[in-house]
Amino acid sequence: MIQLRPLLEVKDLKKYYPIRKGLFGRVSGQVHAVDGVSFSIGQGETLGLVGESGCGKSTAGRTVLKLIDPTSGEISWRGKRIDGLSRVSMRPFRQEIQAVFQDPYSSLNPRMRAIDIVSEPLINFQKFSRSEGRDQVAYLFEKVGLRPDQMIRFPHEFSGGQRQRLGIARALSVKPRLIMCDEPVSALDVSVQAQVINLLIDLQKEFGLSYLFVAHDLAVVRHISHRVAVMYLGRIVEIAETPELFDSPKHPYTEALLSAVPIPDPALRRTQIVLQGDVPSPINRPAGCHFHTRCPYAQERCRKEEPGARELSPGHLVTCHFPVNAK
């Protein structure tokens, strides 16, 4: 098992959105977007956060970065609590924790040239002069596989993959320790996806970066992550090292998700587990285990009693009364 010093520690993180009704905005309920999520990320480690759309993985990632204020819970960065910090007090940490988003086009100012997009945080945080910034941007362009002569272009003059490289260069510019990648390749063609993922892996090796990698594509997550956390209805239902999770999933939801991933070998076959019904509403979640309405192994106990997280083997946590593939 990889033992890495945690850079980021998240404990019992919650993000609820109140539902207001009527003239006086009375709170009539809560959307439980993130509900008691705990994990840590070590130096040079990638934690994949996966789940169906609407499971709360992106909200969890953005809350960890304090782009969204948490409802409760602890977020510690290199041993220091940051969950209660104001936007101004967060400034020194912003340099160390950066983000790359799904749609690079909407996250890049269309009126700015590439050089200004990449050098903006560089100048803001490190007080570089414009000429020093230019050299640094040329270096970053090279690192992410862009040509320095492309620095004067506008975002619309780049392809989707190049725009994502631009977003990565911008995130890298302030020498972060951790980058939250929120579905960074899901808008790209498959061949370009592989190039961007391999670029992220190379940059991790070169700069010792850590990633919180939020995605729904399990094949992509498997390729880049050291550990994987699976989310369902705002909670982590299973977390383990990548080979163990993919070879021997213990939560019925993880098992079903993995059964749908194609195997690149025509000689091998796997029975797909088709989950019945839709994901329940995060406003009115089922009692007991929130997955019991769709779980093929549900028993009476599951309908009444909420399962807690259990460590089935070192570092392999599962939130289920009756784990599958358990000895």
Residues of this chain that bind ligand SF4 (CB under 6 A): 252, 289, 291-292, 295, 297-298, 302, 307, 320-322
Q: State the nearest-atom distance from the C-beta of 73 to ligand SF4, in Å.
A: 23
Taking the least distance from each CB to ligand SF4, the nearer of 214 and 320 is 320
Taking the least distance from each CB to ligand SF4, the nearer of 100 and 233 is 233
Q: State the nearest-atom distance from the C-beta of 316 to ligand SF4, in Å.
A: 15
CB neighbours of residue 28 within 10 Å: 11
Sign of CA dihedral 46, 83, 238, 281: negative
Q: State the nearest-atom distance from the C-beta of 299 to ligand SF4, in Å.
A: 6
Q: State the nearest-atom distance from the C-beta of 229 to ligand SF4, in Å.
A: 16
Q: What angle do CA 197, 201, 207 make, to 5 degrees?
A: 135
Taking the least distance from each CB to ligand SF4, the nearer of 64 and 295 is 295
CB neighbours of residue 310 within 10 Å: 14
Taking the least distance from each CB to ligand SF4, the nearer of 8 and 37 is 37
Q: State the nearest-atom distance from the C-beta of 239 to ligand SF4, in Å.
A: 15
Q: State the nearest-atom distance from the C-beta of 256 to ligand SF4, in Å.
A: 10
Taking the least distance from each CB to ligand SF4, the nearer of 164 and 293 is 293
- Write the single-letter amino acid at 236: I
DSSP run (H or E) holding 16: strand 6-21
Helices (H), the chain: 57-64, 91-94, 104-107, 114-126, 130-143, 160-172, 190-207, 218-224, 242-247, 252-259, 300-304
Taking the least distance from each CB to ligand SF4, the nearer of 132 and 306 is 306
CB neighbours of residue 51 within 10 Å: 26
Taking the least distance from each CB to ligand SF4, the nearer of 268 and 274 is 274
Q: How far apart are CA 222 and CA 224, in angstroms?
A: 6
The pair of three-digit structure tokens given for residue 13, joined into one six-digit string = 């993180």
Taking the least distance from each CB to ligand SF4, the nearer of 136 and 313 is 313
Helix, strand, coil percent content, the chain, rounded in steps of 5: 35, 25, 45
For residue 238, give Cα distances in angstroms to 93, 232, 242, 311. Answer: 29, 9, 11, 10
Q: State the nearest-atom distance from the C-beta of 135 to ligand SF4, in Å.
A: 54
Sheet hosting strand 6-21, strand order edge to edge: 26-42, 6-21, 72-77, 80-81
First to last CA, the chain: 20
Q: State the nearest-atom distance from the C-beta of 245 to ligand SF4, in Å.
A: 15
